[in-house]
Amino acid sequence: MSDTPPEGTPSAAAGPPGEDDGHTLAYGRSRHHPPPRGGPAEVGQPAEAAGQPPGGPGGRSRLRPPQRSVLERRFARLGWAFALPGLFVVLAVTLFPIVFSVAMSLSDVDVSAGGFSLSGFTTGHYGLLLGSERWRHALVFTVLYTIGTVVAELILGTLIALVLERLGGVGRSWMMALLLLPWAMITVVSAQLWAYMYNGVYGILTAASESVTGEPVQFLGTRFPAIISMAVADVWKTTPFVAIIVLAGLMMLPTDVTEAARVDGAGAWTAFWRVRLPLLRPALTIAVLFRILQAFGIFDLPFVLTGGGPGDATESLALLGWHVMFTNLDFGPGAAVAASTAALVLVGCLLFLRAFRSQVGEEEAGT
Amino acid sequence: MRIGRVRLTWTHLAALLIAAFVAAPLYWMAASSLKGPEEIGANPPDLWPPNATFENYRQAFVDNNFGTYLVNSVLVSVVATTLVLSLSAFAGYALARLPLRGKAPIMVALLMISLFPTIALAAPLFLLMRDIGWLNSYQGLILVYTALNVPFAVWILRNFFLGIPKEMEEVAWVDGASPVRTVLSVILPQARPGMFTAAIFTFTACWTEFLIALTLNTADRFRTMPVGLALFGSQFTVPYGTIFAAATVSVLPIALLVLVFRRAVVSGLTAGAVKG
Amino acid sequence: MSIRRAAALCAVPVLLAAAACGSGVGSATVDPRDVGPASGAITWYAINFGPEGLPQKLIDAFEKKHPEISVTYQAAPNNTDTMRATLTTEISGGSGSIDVFNGDLIWPAQFGRSELAMPLDEHLPDDFWDRYPEQRSELTEYRGDHVAAPLYADAGFLYYRKDLLEKHDLPVPRTWEELAKTARTIQDAGDAKYGYVGQWANYEGLSVNWTEMTAAAGGRSVSDDHESCTMETQENRRVLDFMRGMLDDEVAPSAITSFQEPQSLQTFVEGDAVFHRNWAHGFGESNNPEISAVAGKVGIAPLPTFEGEDHPGPSAMGGWNLMVNPHSESVGAVLTFIKWMTGDEAQRMLAENAVLPTVSDVLNDKELQRDDPVLAAAAEVPMVARPALFPRYAQVSYGMFTNINGSLAGTTPPGAALRAACDDIERALEGNAL
């Protein structure tokens, strides 16, 4: 087992192999397996559709026997018993809001004292988006901003994680505590803090830039500086998230892999690049995935820091959605902004999963 | 060994740099929270509060109800985090190891749910909570936070469970341990870094959430800290001093927790490490 | 196990509710004629205004007069947009937990259109509205019905450094051109870093500043009938060129394109600017020695005009109204509250606390004016309204401020910015804007 790299992400993009990545305990194969001691298995739903052929078309189903044994069905029931409570809570709370929101985006919505009334079916709200310069601009900005900040955070976060890993001991725990502080700050407040530091007249950063260059830099007053300044504030707050996930991933790596590489004469850099980085794939994937989600939905920071300005320079899709919904009180178009954002980011995530998987897979093959 | 020592030095230097970048804004927040209203806007700014005062803290806690908001935030975040961890540990385990059909669709569905913008959820969630009478309550907010954070926790925990060698549980099974016990006593200790990571992220997500808390709990005694902070000042004033005082207090519990449980935190991150 | 089971049990009613909720949330509105008794408990939702604790002081005075009614003050988030978001969610969600709320001066048409505020004419005597200046009460109408009662007023003023003008022996400028020249002189002498600060950030406040300056130049942004955009005129071009000129000459700091009220005020109270445009609170705050380095040195004047136009330039109308939640179950008590709050006693309390009253009698009270230069100035200045009677004003305003701000930040040249603003505004007027 020791030289088998831990496997990674659920292969959402790669299709059904998530059914069984080769991690599922091969209960069915285990000849000396005792039956589970009942209990929880009975709590769960009976596994439905037991007659379907297992495994699916994924390439990794080789470990599975072609048919499900009684024991295996029993474990499937146990699986549902474990998984259902969590899934049920999630669905119970989010299903209605999401369906409602999508319905709003597809019908004529009247906000009135009697509540929201939805009538008819229309794709007009989406048409409005597609025809709107404002929406297109917000989309382009959000995509570029997401790519820029996530890449920066990924690189910085990984570097920080490596530094912390080496640091060890007391130093590491102090650093961890410190790193968690920006992350634990209320976004609205950290945005206020940066707005205060960037302030064009009495901001500490403005003063610092004046003493360095002789001319105060206006961080938020003009287009590109405003975008960069917002990104810096964002990176400050969210890189710890990446760093901690990657650090936890590093800690889970089997140490002998690196040692083996070192014995083989690989330098520290090569060992990291060729051996440990591919092994970090699962941790990196999760970090990036959820950072994409959050960056794509960025709202509080532009809301407080720039108000989307100057002009429309920093208006993100979420900020646009908020304005359409709660400033203009246009709930239909607002819901359309939200739903289209969700659809786009889903596509983005799936693309990322596919690309990242295959690319790192090659690295792995080369090792 | 020389190489080792040089490396150590570089590591320390890098750590210092990182610490400086992370700490500088925090220092500035704390320093500004000790300044009077005039010094807050001084140009050029004073690097050190010239006449340090706790007036801003007094205003946050005495003139505003910040203490109540803080307690509410702790309560909601702690309960929601506990619920999220207990639900996701089992769900994550099932999705990692047990032979479920449709794992991939489930994982993608969870992803979709967690990427749906909160702004679009706020109004329907209000309707939902109004209908079951959980507006202005703790349980309403806790339930929503639990549901919104389970997806991420499941993703992250499943990922960690996948990294644990199967032999461990197989041995447990052979020894006749019940499934629940296997998860609790074999799997979870192995996945401590994952549990720790999921706990931190869930907690901070609840701790900092604004829009839903604002929408669901409008009564003052149920308001959480991020909402409470938005009430400081008036339409045309941003009382930076009071906000920073409150914000400094709001990050302290996290810092203290991590420092007090420093050893647990570090062992949480290391003890579970799989030595192959 | 128990935790999981509890959570699962909790979730069941949620799911059922979700299924039952459906799309239309049909909660019946209160019958407008049946207002209920003028007693009981009501909740008033408002952003803090005036000196600390003023809302509670008003309530205390009210409850003394009307012991049968008790009022709870619920503080709203201090951001106008955030407050509007919570109100929209609550009211359209059918909640009656807020009975009466403060609403921005620019909300009535929008709230009227979405039925988020109760029409008041049936419930208030016809002569109720006579207490207000006509221009002000008109702004609370939607389709011929008043949906809000003005509570307190606000107006833009020019604040200036008396000491610096005296030192250079210069008069208070009457035109914007003169203001820029005066500022430059004082800046060149090294007595102040900047000449002028106002609110030119990317938000509603820029629409306010823009409306004031263009009105002074004889321009406007939208035609009276809300049919067409009147952005691309010589008058407006003159104003935009002048604003950019202030930036080019460094009379205005380049940071002004990110300034809202707090930032411009802070710059001014630190002694960094000669002139400052702000609302009425600017006077008290810049003369408060606890927060201002220039306390006692600040004068107040009406806004300047442009050369060749009438002096003074008009001030934008600001301030807040009282609006009633259509779901309130205590409309009778709310009406009593509104009548009292817009009556002589409460309005005087406002004036004594440096909040501008809306009621003409109190606004024009010579005795009060003698103690309060802001009140005296407010009674004098001509007023201009933003085109907020148009229900889609929010989009119109966005078209204004975002393009003007973009031009001030140097992203687009003035001509193109005005054209783009006009495109946006016209789409908003046609109802095709996002």
Residues B21 and B15: their CA atoms lie apart, in Å, by 10
Residues C258 and A116: their CA atoms lie apart, in Å, by 36
Q: What integer pLDDT is reported at residue C42 of this predicted model?
A: 95
Subunit partners of chain C (3 or more CB pairs within 8 A): A, B
B170 closest CB neighbour out of A12, A30, A101:
A30
Judged by CB atoms closer than 8 Å, whether chains meet at B155 and A290 is answered as yes
Q: What integer pLDDT is reported at residue B262 of this predicted model?
A: 63
Residues C303 and C293: their CA atoms lie apart, in Å, by 23
Whether residue C86 lies within 8 A of chain B, CB to CB, comes out as yes
Q: Is the pLDDT of residue C99 over 90?
A: yes
Ranges in chain C annotated CATH 3.40.190.10: 34-147+317-380, 157-314+387-430
* Class of the CATH-defined domain B64-270: mainly alpha
The model's confidence at residue A140, banded by pLDDT at 50, 70 and 90, is: very high
Residues A90 and B204: their CA atoms lie apart, in Å, by 19
A88 closest CB neighbour out of C11, C92, C398:
C11
pLDDT, tens only, A346-359:
888 888 888 776 55
Mutate to test the interface with C, among B218, B222, B229, B232 (most CBs of C within 10 A): B218
Residues A23 and A282: their CA atoms lie apart, in Å, by 14
The model's confidence at residue B7, banded by pLDDT at 50, 70 and 90, is: low
The mean pLDDT of C374-399, rounded to a whole number, is 93
* CATH architecture of the domain covering C34-147+317-380: 3-Layer(aba) Sandwich (3.40)
Residues C150 and C159: their CA atoms lie apart, in Å, by 26
**Residue of higher predicted confidence among C70 and A9:** C70
Quote the Cα angle for B103-B109-B115, to 5°: 140
Q: Where along chain B do its domains lie?
A: 1-53, 64-270
Tokens of B111: 């992803």
The interface predicted TM-score (ipTM) is 0.86
Looking at chain B from residue 138 to 197, which residues have their Cβ under 8 Å from any Cβ of chain A? 143-144, 146-148, 150-152, 154-156, 158-160, 162-163, 165-167, 169-170, 173-174, 176, 178-180, 183, 193-194, 196-197
For B215, the closest chain C residue by CA position comes to C86
Query: Percent of chain B beyond pLDDT 70?
Result: 91
Q: What integer pLDDT is reported at residue B264 of this predicted model?
A: 62
Quote the Cα angle for C119-C122-C124, to 5°: 95
**Predicted structure pTM score:** 0.86
Reading phi first (left if > 0) and then psi (alpha if -120 to 50, else beta), residue C154 is in beta
Q: What integer pLDDT is reported at residue B236 of this predicted model?
A: 82
The model's confidence at residue B267, banded by pLDDT at 50, 70 and 90, is: low
Whether residue B233 lies within 8 A of chain C, CB to CB, comes out as yes
Q: What integer pLDDT is reported at residue C159 of this predicted model?
A: 97
pLDDT, tens only, A249-288:
887 777 777 677 667 776 777 777 778 888 888 778 878 8
pLDDT, tens only, B93-112:
999 888 888 888 898 888 88
Query: Percent of chain A beyond pLDDT 70?
Result: 75
Q: Is the dihedral of CA B131, B134, B139, B140 positive or negative?
A: positive
Residue for token pair 């959570």: C7
Mutate to test the interface with C, among A215, A219, A222 (most CBs of C within 10 A): A222
Q: What integer pLDDT is reported at residue A14 of this predicted model?
A: 37
The Cα of A343 is separated from the nearest Cα of chain B by a number of Å equal to 8
* CATH architecture of the domain covering C157-314+387-430: 3-Layer(aba) Sandwich (3.40)
The model's confidence at residue A67, banded by pLDDT at 50, 70 and 90, is: low
Subunit partners of chain B (3 or more CB pairs within 8 A): A, C
Hey, how many other C-beta atoms are within 10 angstroms of the C-beta on C133?
Answer: 17
Q: Is the pLDDT of residue A45 over 60?
A: no
Q: How much of chain A is in helix, strand and coil states, percent to nearest 5?
A: 65, 5, 30
For A72, the closest chain B residue by CA position comes to B99
**Residue of higher predicted confidence among B197 and A144:** A144
Q: What integer pLDDT is reported at residue C110 of this predicted model?
A: 94
In DSSP notation, C350-387 reads HHHTT-EE-SHHHHT-HHHHHH-HHHHHHHHS-EE--S
Q: What integer pLDDT is reported at residue A241 of this predicted model?
A: 84
Q: Is the pLDDT of residue A345 over 50?
A: yes
Looking at chain A from residue 274 to 333, which residues have their Cβ under 8 Å from any Cβ of chain C? 306-313, 320, 322-330, 333
Using an 8 Å Cβ cutoff, are A340 and B117 in contact?
A: no
Domain A129-366 has CATH 1.10.3720.10: yes
Residues C260 and C203: their CA atoms lie apart, in Å, by 8
Judged by CB atoms closer than 8 Å, whether chains meet at A79 and B100 is answered as yes
Judged by CB atoms closer than 8 Å, whether chains meet at A313 and C411 is answered as yes
Judged by CB atoms closer than 8 Å, whether chains meet at A83 and B104 is answered as no
Residues A7 and A281: their CA atoms lie apart, in Å, by 9
Q: Is the pLDDT of residue C24 over 70?
A: no
Tokens of A278: 């591919």
b (16+ CB within 10 A) / e for B186-203: bbbebbbbbbbbbbbbbb
| From B113-127, C177-191, C265-279, C379-393, the region with the lowest mean pLDDT | B113-127
- Tell me if residue C71 falls in helix, strand or coil: strand
Return the amino acid letter for C139.
L
Which residues of chain B does C261 touch, with a Cβ-Cβ cutoff of 8 Å?
A: 235-237
Q: Is the pLDDT of residue A30 over 60?
A: no
- Tell me if residue A309 falls in helix, strand or coil: coil
Ranges in chain A annotated CATH 1.10.3720.10: 129-366
Residue B270 CA neighbour count, 13 Å, CB half:
13
Quote the Cα angle for B35-B228-C149, to 5°: 110
pLDDT, tens only, B38-68:
788 777 788 888 888 898 998 888 878 888 9
| From B77-91, B226-240, C146-160, C291-305, the region with the lowest mean pLDDT | B226-240
The model's confidence at residue B261, banded by pLDDT at 50, 70 and 90, is: low
The mean pLDDT of C116-140, rounded to a whole number, is 93
Residues 6 or more apart in contact with residue C117 via CB below 8 angstroms: C103, C107, C108, C111, C147, C148, C323, C324, C325, C326
Looking at chain C from residue 46 to 85, which residues have their Cβ under 8 Å from any Cβ of chain A? 81, 84-85
Residues A258 and A263: their CA atoms lie apart, in Å, by 9
Which residues of chain B does A101 touch, with a Cβ-Cβ cutoff of 8 Å?
A: 116, 120-121, 124
The model's confidence at residue C356, banded by pLDDT at 50, 70 and 90, is: very high
Query: Percent of chain C beyond pLDDT 90?
Result: 79
For A225, the closest chain C residue by CA position comes to C409
Judged by CB atoms closer than 8 Å, whether chains meet at C17 and B42 is answered as no
Mutate to test the interface with A, among B6, B98, B183, B237 (most CBs of A within 10 A): B98
Backbone angles phi, psi at A246, to 5 degrees: -65, -40
Q: Is the pLDDT of residue C33 over 70?
A: no
Q: What integer pLDDT is reported at residue C100 of this predicted model?
A: 97
The model's confidence at residue C23, banded by pLDDT at 50, 70 and 90, is: very low
- Give C71's strand partners: C42
Peptide bond into C391 cis (omega under 30): no
Which residues of chain A does C88 touch, with a Cβ-Cβ cutoff of 8 Å?
A: 111, 326, 329
The mean pLDDT of C326-352, rounded to a whole number, is 95
Q: Is the pLDDT of residue A366 over 80?
A: no
